[in-house]
Amino acid sequence: MRRGINTNMSQVESLYALLSDYEPHSTREIQKSVYGADHLGRANIPARILDIKRKYRVQIESWQDTKQKSIWWYRMIRPEPKQSVLFTQQNNPYAYQNN
């Protein structure tokens, strides 16, 4: 899914929004979508990935393209659904014990 640059968002927020579809995104796509095609500076994507991991507490996997070694891929890992614990009288550590 391709998204345009939102100038009201920081680079971290824009990259998080891009990765939140849980699909792989290449450094080229990130460069265009987050930094802009006319960006002249060096895009420090790994640093922004680390910022996202710390800020949003998510996991992001990365791998190097097998054909073009200068291209990396990033994908946010979908979180596991949280299991709810059902306490019964037998397994509730705070239940009143009438012995």
In a domain, 39, yes or no: yes
Signed CA dihedral, 37, 55, 74, 45: sign only: positive
Q: What is the pLDDT of residues 4-18, one digit of tens each?
A: 556 678 999 999 999
67 is a domain residue: yes
Which residue carries 């306490």 as its tokens? Answer: 87
- Domain for residue 62, yes or no? yes
Q: What is the pLDDT of residue 25?
A: 97
For residue 24, being part of any structural domain is answered with yes
d(CA 19, CA 82): 21
pTM for this prediction: 0.72
Domain count, the chain: 1
The domain of 43 spans 11-76
Q: Residue 90 falls within a domain, yes or no? A: no
In this predicted structure, what is the pLDDT of residue 37?
72
Q: Token pair for residue 37?
A: 């095609």
- Tell me if 25 is assigned to some domain: yes
Residue 12, H or E segment: helix 11-19
Straight-line distance from the first to the last Cα atom of the chain, in angstroms, rounded to the nearest whole number = 61
